[in-house]
Every structure is written in structure tokens, then in C-alpha cells.
Structure 1
Amino acid sequence: MATYRQIQERVKSTAGFVPKTCWIAHVKSDYGLISREAFNRADSNVRQHPCPPDKRGTIEDALRHFRMI
């Protein structure tokens, strides 16, 4: 399984931007890849910084590259 840093580097090299870790966590959680909730999360039902729809596909491509989805 790839680290958040590896996913960020892959997205940066292919799409030219560095995704926030919370965006990666959002996409991973939608695929059931998050094993636990962050200890510092204020509300378990609300995301402070959800992944923008226009960035989601690129993050999913990186997850596919690492065979995570």
C-alpha cells in the first residue's frame, strides 16, 4: 500500500498539483480503505476539507497506479 507522500508525488508528477492529505483520505474512505478515523477529527459526520470533484479523478488514478483500488 502506498503512503500519502507517494500518492502526492504521483499526482504532482502527472497532474502538476499536490493534493492535501485530507483529500486523499476522503477518496480512500469512499473506497473503504481507511481503517480508523483520525484522532483529531472534530465531527465524524462532517469533513472540514472534502476532496474537490475536479481533483478526485486524478487522486483515483494515483490509487489505481499503486493498485489500491
Structure 2
Amino acid sequence: MDELDLTSSGAKTTYEKIKNYVFERYGLIFSFLNIVQVKTKCGIIERGNYNKPKFENAK
């Protein structure tokens, strides 16, 4: 179970770090959308959107 716990560096992984890792390791270039699609397919929960409007009918 210790292997599955988040480390301090693992909790701060950004999409840019993921893109750089995959490019260096496999030479693949992809968009942030691809990362989201893979996370969704694997069941990894995304955090909520914190930039939501304060009113329901906001434009």
C-alpha cells in the first residue's frame, strides 16, 4: 500500500510535466485533451472547476 501513496512530488505533477516525460521517454507529442481522456478512461477523478460563475444565469 505504501507504493500507492502520493509523494510530495507526485501530488504536484502537472500536465506539462506529463507531456515532457512522455516525449522524452517515448517521443510522442500529444495535447492536454489526450491526458484528460486517458485519466477519464482509467477512472482517475479530476478536481472540480473552481472558476464557476457565482450566478446560475451568468454569461
Identity of aligned residues (%): 24
- Which residues of 2 match residues 13-28 of structure 1 at below 5 A? 13-28=24-39
Pair 22,30 (structure 1): closer, same or farther in 2 beyond 3 Å: same
- The answer to whether residue 47 in structure 2 is matched with residue 35 in structure 1 is yes
Higher-RCO chain (CA-CA 8 Å, sequence separation at least 6): 1
Report which of the two structures shows the higher radius of gyration computed on alpha carbons.
2
RMSD: 2.0
Supply the distance in 2 between the matched residues of 1:7 and 1:22 (Cα, whole angstroms). 12
Q: Secondary structure at the match of 1:26?
A: helix
Pair 36,26 (structure 1): closer, same or farther in 2 beyond 3 Å: farther
Unaligned runs of 5+ in 2: 1-10, 52-59
Corresponding residue pairs, total = 38
Unaligned runs of 5+ in 1: 40-69
Deviations 1:10-61 (Å, cap 9, x if unpaired)? 0000111222100000001122222347x8xxxxxxxxxxxxxxxxxxxxxx
Q: Secondary structure at the match of 1:35?
A: coil
